[in-house]
Amino acid sequence: MEPPPGWLDRVAKFIEVFPSRLQEYEDLLTQNKIWKARLIGVGPLSAKDAIAMGVSGPSLRGSGVAYDVRKAFPYSRYEEFDFKLCTEQAGDCYARYLVRVAEMRESVKIIQQAMKKVPASGAIRTEAPGIVPPERERMKTEMEALIYHFKIVTEGYTVPAGEAYACVESPRGEIGYYAVSDGTSKPYRLHMRTPSFGNLQALATMIEGKLIADTIASMGSMDFVLGDVDR
């Protein structure tokens, strides 16, 4: 399966325009006296508390903890990309804002490097018909492809008995899946570790003794999603 026609060109155009647009936001906010007064010292979270409560992502790095799944446990060829792990020491709303802005710039660098590694043509998806569903166009003309699709959807595929945990770095933090297999096509146990669930645990500590108005800024700086919390 190849990228849709024109997709790489659209990505190239985006990363050409995005840095200047990001700079506009920085010029407007980063040194703005009102912005800084509203964020500096608000929603403080120490590195010790962040680690204890399972905080991850920019919220963790905003407390000075240099941890990123892409660096600690590289996947999807992240070890081949040159990008900086962004941290701030203050642990407040302003620090989390600075981390996110810096990470957007690093993301552009990653995309630029990844663009150079995309093959000019050919399949970019693994050829494993017993695991990966066939393309829909093939299912319309090939009986074998239709059979593979039916078997994957109705039966799945067997996994050796055992347990495994795998995680990735999402914009909000670490997303992980812990699975236990009993050797069948259905998991014996499946547990999701979502970043918002861990990050939300820190809110009570961040707003203790603070103004009610500070709660809104603290919640926004953690960027949690309730569906993510609910898992």
Q: What is the mean pLDDT of each run of 10 residues along the chain (231 residues)?
A: 82 96 97 97 97 97 98 96 97 98 98 88 72 84 89 87 97 96 93 94 94 94 91 80
Are the CB atoms for 224 and 216 separated by under 8 Å?
no
Q: Tell me the two tokens of residue 147.
A: 């059979």
Residue 179, phi then psi, degrees to nearest 5: -125, 140
179 close to 163: Cβ distance less than 8 angstroms: yes
pLDDT given for residue 155 in this prediction: 85
The Cα–Cα gap between 108 and 85 comes to: 14
| CB of 222 closer than 8 Å to CB of 61 | no
- pLDDT of the residue at 38: 96
**Rounded Cα–Cα distance for residues 63 and 89 (Å):** 5
pLDDT, position 1: 59
Report the Cα 218 to chain-centroid distance in Å: 20
Three-class DSSP category at 208: coil
Domain at 7-122+195-230, CATH homologous superfamily: Cytochrome-c3 Hydrogenase, chain B (1.10.645.10)
pLDDT at position 124 is 66
